[in-house]
Amino acid sequence: MDIATILTKRYAGLEWTLDGDDYSGLTWLSDTPKPTEATLAKAWPGVQSEVAAEAQERLDAKASTIDKLRALGLTLEEVQVAFGLGQ
């Protein structure tokens, strides 16, 4: 379970610090109640799915962009040089 990722995804805008990787290092700074370790564990599968979906969306967007460049007759390398990317 990645506590920092769960907190970032499910408790955005709230203040907390995490010393290390486990629940004992979580210091809750917000006025709202601190989530329990069980609550975070329950949220983890959904957060994992969300993170995986976001990664897939980025890959799909990249593939779509490459396809569009190819349709215009450009290579990925030409675009990287033109925009100073990947060097």
**Reported pTM:** 0.75
Residue pLDDT, tens place only, 24-81? 999 999 999 999 999 999 999 999 999 999 999 999 998 888 888 888 888 878 877 8
Comparing 17 with 72, the larger pLDDT belongs to 17
pLDDT at 86: 64
- Of 75, 1, 73, 87, the C-alpha closest to 43 is 1
Give me the residue label for tokens 């993170």. 51
Helices 3-10 and 37-71 sit at what angle, rounded to 10 degrees?
80
Residue 87 has pLDDT above 60, yes or no: no
- Of 11, 42, 7, the C-alpha closest to 21 is 7
The strand pair at 26-28 and 16-18 is best described as antiparallel
pLDDT at 66: 80
Residue ranges per structural domain of the chain: 3-82
